[in-house]
């Protein structure tokens, strides 16, 4: 998709250069915007007469594009409103990229499009150590063997655990259920094994459906 968009924009720009008489030997380029295009993700692609291509996205566009998400997520709404109050503040406006990414991820989840890949960040070992008992128990119930007597940080332990979690995410049932501060958390369940992730696929926790507590939210 990105490759096709790039080719499309390059072709458009080549046509505009011929039309405007712009070439590489022309030293006096202006910064006049000669064309604008809307992308399916809500960006505005702007082409200037000196051959530069910009991808733009402002708060109003985000607000219109992700209205459903913003109406259902107070945290993201507050984030956007904060930026709108002081749009010239570089520390705030630079957060737009991160905000748009969050909005896009949540929008996909609301449409039933769930990320199939799971990321763990820098503390994979501590997360696996914390949940190893629930992982082993639920894996055994599903006929999956997790080696015993090996170090948590070892490849011998982590590889089958990652494969087990991937299988739950890819072949189990996935729902969107709030979990603590994660309003749009993704719950994937297979048997009694429950994997909870953020909307972008980042691992949050592992639960045993028979363990009570938060697991009871899955009904």
pLDDT computed for residue 152 by the predictor: 93
Within-domain flag for 144? yes
Same domain, 204 and 137: yes
* Residue with more model confidence, 74 or 135: 135
pLDDT computed for residue 155 by the predictor: 94
Within-domain flag for 205? yes
Same domain, 142 and 80: no
Round to whole Å and give the CA distance between 198 and 182.
7
pLDDT tens for residues 18-55? 544 444 444 344 467 777 766 666 677 776 777 676 76
Round to whole Å and give the CA distance between 145 and 184.
31
pLDDT computed for residue 166 by the predictor: 95
pLDDT tens for residues 151-185? 999 999 999 999 999 999 999 999 889 999 898 89
pLDDT computed for residue 132 by the predictor: 95
pTM summary value: 0.58
Round to whole Å and give the CA distance between 124 and 135.
14
pLDDT computed for residue 66 by the predictor: 84
Within-domain flag for 8? yes
Q: Name the residue among 128, 187, 191, 190 with its Cα closest to residue 161.
A: 128
Round to whole Å and give the CA distance between 154 and 141.
23
Same domain, 161 and 180: yes
Same domain, 7 and 78: no
Within-domain flag for 119? no
* Residue with more model confidence, 110 or 174: 174
Within-domain flag for 196? yes
Report residue 69 as tokens. Answer: 């998400």
Q: How many domains does one find in the chain?
A: 3
Same domain, 31 and 47: yes
Range from 1-15, 113-127, 145-159 that averages highest in pLDDT: 145-159
The CATH number of whichever domain residue 139 belongs to comes to 3.10.450
Within-domain flag for 118? no
In which band, very low, low, confident or very high, does the pLDDT at 206 lie, cut at 50, 70 and 90? very high
pLDDT tens for residues 57-86? 655 567 877 888 888 788 888 888 888 787
Structural domain span for residue 62: 58-113
Domain boundary among 36, 56, 76: 56
């Amino acid at each position: 998709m990105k490759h096709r968009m790039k080719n499309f924009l390059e072709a458009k720009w080549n046509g505009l250069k011929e039309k405007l008489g712009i070439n590489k030997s022309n030293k006096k380029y202006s910064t006049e915007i000669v064309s604008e295009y809307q992308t399916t993700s809500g960006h505005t692609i702007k082409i200037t007469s000196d051959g530069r291509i910009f991808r733009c996205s402002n708060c109003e566009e985000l607000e219109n594009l992700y209205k459903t998400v913003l109406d259902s997520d107070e945290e993201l709404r507050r984030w956007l409103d904060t930026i709108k109050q002081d749009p010239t503040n570089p520390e705030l406006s630079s957060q737009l990229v991160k905000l748009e990414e969050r909005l896009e991820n949540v929008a996909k989840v609301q449409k039933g499009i769930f990320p199939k890949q799971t990321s763990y960040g820098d503390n994979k070992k501590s997360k696996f150590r914390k949940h190893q008992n629930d992982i082993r128990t639920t894996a055994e119930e599903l006929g999956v063997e997790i080696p015993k007597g090996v170090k948590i940080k070892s490849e011998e332990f982590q590889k089958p655990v990652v494969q087990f979690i991937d299988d739950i995410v890819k072949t189990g049932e996935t729902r969107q259920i709030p979990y603590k501060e994660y309003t749009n958390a993704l719950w994937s369940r297979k048997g009694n094994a429950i994997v909870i992730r953020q909307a972008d696929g980042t691992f949050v926790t592992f639960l045993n459906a028979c363990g009570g507590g938060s697991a009871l939210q899955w009904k």
